[in-house]
Copies of this chain bind each other. A is one copy, B any other.
Amino acid sequence: MIFSEKQIESIAEMLKSIAHPIRLKILCFLMEGEKNVGEIESEFGSTISNISQHLTVLRKANIINRRKEANFMYYTLKDENVSNLMRTIKINFCSDS
């Protein structure tokens, strides 16, 4: 085993945060670039409260960043590692590119 117990726990935590239909859709959407909560909400149903809660989960798992501008919150994928992971998922598990 190459990984430490701590590392395993944190990677599992991160994957768990991605492994939800709504959060996965949010992340796919964020691959396009920065979006605010309203934009995310209108892209696919659910309530804005629910979206916000899912964004919190992603943020606590270190998957996304947020930036405040006026009373809007703009979200982005955290870093290249996250982008790489999302791209790999897309390439390997989505029939159409």
Contacts and interface: CB of A to CB of B under 8 A. Distances in A.
A60 interface: no
B21 A12 contact: yes
Contact residues on A (Cβ < 8 Å of other chain), bracket: 35 or more
Contact of A19 (B5, B12, B82, B97): B12
A2 interface: yes
A6 to B, nearest CB: 10
Contacts of A20: 12, 16
Nearest to A25: B8
A1 to B, nearest CB: 7
A80 B92 CA distance: 8
Interface of A: 1-3, 5, 7-16, 18-21, 23-25, 28-29, 43-44, 80-82, 84-85, 88-97
9 contacts: A3-B25, A3-B94, A7-B94, A8-B21, A12-B20, A12-B24, A16-B20, A19-B19, A82-B92
